Amino acid sequence: MTDAAVQASKAAVAPDQMAWDSRTRRFVTIYLPLILFVIVLLFPFYWMAVTSFKPNAELYDYKRYNPFLIGSPTLAHIKHLLFETAYPHWLVVTMTVAVCSTVLSLFSSVLAAYAIQRLRFKGSQYVGLGIYLAYLVPPSILFIPLATTINQFGLFDSPLALILTYPTFLVPFSTWLLIGYFKSIPYELEECALIDGATRLQILRRITLPLAVPGLISAGIFSFTLSWNEFIYALAFIQSSDKKTVSVAILTELVSGDVYQWGALMAGSLLGSLPVAIFYSFFVDYYVSSLTGAVKE
């Protein structure tokens, strides 16, 4: 009986102890590294934000002011950016280019994915493979010949050049993603519609597309963020200051001379990141599913 009592008390103590033990263990092995990861991954953004609201006096004086905090926040850098540079103009150009190229590439990838996955013609597999391979061709090896091509078409220094070239990396990705989505829609639905006398395009518009809306949203936001981030084409094809996109303009127009205006530079980076970050925050789940879906396909 004493044995049983001892065992019982042991049993009462042991889980408690183990719980304590595993809680510290969990903290050290899981939460602590996670917190460190989050700090490291977010610090540049924090630093960007802090810098863009600091007055210049604080910005370059770490002795008197704690650099991690803002003593007297100011909007001077943002005001300078919005009213004394062409920044609003660059934002408009970037937005236009991103929206147009997203729409263009969504339109063409929906049709292509539908043809490859649903119309099932001879050799559709090879077309699909070709489009997949196109995704593996990075812009860095294309920009020089593309610059001459753009010149031949007379599109040099025109935002239209960007709208037409961005789909080269958006279409392969979106098509691949949409093929996966179309695959998950039961073919029987389309057969029913065919029997009821719908044409193929009616089926695409009335049945397949409404069911593939999550896929369309994923492909859309992925394309939007990719075209917002694009740099090398915008750098190579656009020359006049008022047609540049935000990322190119900040680097080529705001970085000048030996003394960098860090406040304005960081404010510009912050403002340039915000639209895409806000847009992303609305559709996080779609974004994650597109990222992982594309990898799994």
Partner 1 sequence: MTVATATDWTRARPQPGWLARLFDYKPFLVFACLLPACGLLLVFLTYPLGLGIWLSFTDTKIGRAGQFIGLENFEYLLDDPQFWSAVFFSVFYTAVATFGKFALGLWLALLLNNHVPFKSLLRAIILLPWIVPTVLSALAFWWIYDPQFSILSYLAVDVLGIRSTPFDFLSTIWPARWSLVAANIWRGIPFVAISLLAGLQTISPSLYEAALLDGSTAWQRFRYITFPLLLPILAIVMTFSIIFTFTDFQLVYAITRGGPLNSTHLMATLAFQRGISGGELGEGAAIAVAMIPFLVVATLFSYFALARRKWQQGEAND
Three-point CA angle 176, 247, 219, nearest 5° = 20
Options 41, 69, 186, 257; binder of partner 1; rule CB under 8 A: 41
Min dist CB 5 to partner 1, Å, is 31
Q: How far is CA 28 from the centre of its chain?
A: 32
Options 42, 75, 189, 192; binder of partner 1; rule CB under 8 A: 42
Cα–Cα distances (Å) from 117 to 120, 191, 289, in that order, read 6, 14, 20
Stretch in the footprint of partner 1 (CB under 8 A) among 10-18, 77-85, 106-114, 206-214: 106-114
Min dist CB 160 to partner 1, Å, is 12
Q: Per CB under 8 A, does 57 bind partner 1?
A: no
Q: Per CB under 8 A, does 19 bind partner 1?
A: no
Q: Helix crossing, 76-84 with 32-53: angle to 10°?
A: 60
Task: Assign 137 to helix, strand or coil.
Answer: coil
Binding positions for partner 1, 156-195, rule CB under 8 A: 164-165, 167-168, 171-172, 175
Buried/exposed 250-277: b ≥16 CB within 10 Å, e otherwise: beebbeeeeeebebbbbbbbbbbbebbe
45: nearest Cα among 284, 261, 270: 270
Phi, psi values for residue 85, rounded to 5° = -125, 175
Binding positions for partner 1, 74-93, rule CB under 8 A: none
How many residues lie near partner 1 (CB under 8 A)?
91
Stretch in the footprint of partner 1 (CB under 8 A) among 15-23, 54-62, 81-89, 205-213: 54-62
196 touches 258 (CB < 8 A):
no
Stretch in the footprint of partner 1 (CB under 8 A) among 85-93, 185-193, 208-216, 284-292: 284-292
Residue for token pair 């008197």: 64
Q: Per CB under 8 A, does 148 bind partner 1?
A: yes
Q: Per CB under 8 A, does 281 bind partner 1?
A: yes
One character per residue 198-237, x = contact with partner 1 (rule: CB under 8 A): -xxx-----------------------x--xx-xx--xx-
Stretch in the footprint of partner 1 (CB under 8 A) among 69-77, 83-91, 132-140, 208-216: 132-140
Options 56, 85, 108, 158; binder of partner 1; rule CB under 8 A: 108
Min dist CB 79 to partner 1, Å, is 20
Would you state the structure tokens that stand for residue 86, as one six-digit string? 């062409």
87: nearest Cα among 277, 259, 267, 275: 267
Q: Per CB under 8 A, does 256 bind partner 1?
A: no
Binding positions for partner 1, 261-280, rule CB under 8 A: 262, 265-266, 268-269, 272-273, 276-277, 280
Q: Give the integer Cα–Cα distance in Å for 124 and 43.
A: 47
How many helices and strands in the chain, by DSSP H and E?
17, 0
Task: Assign 30 to helix, strand or coil.
Answer: helix
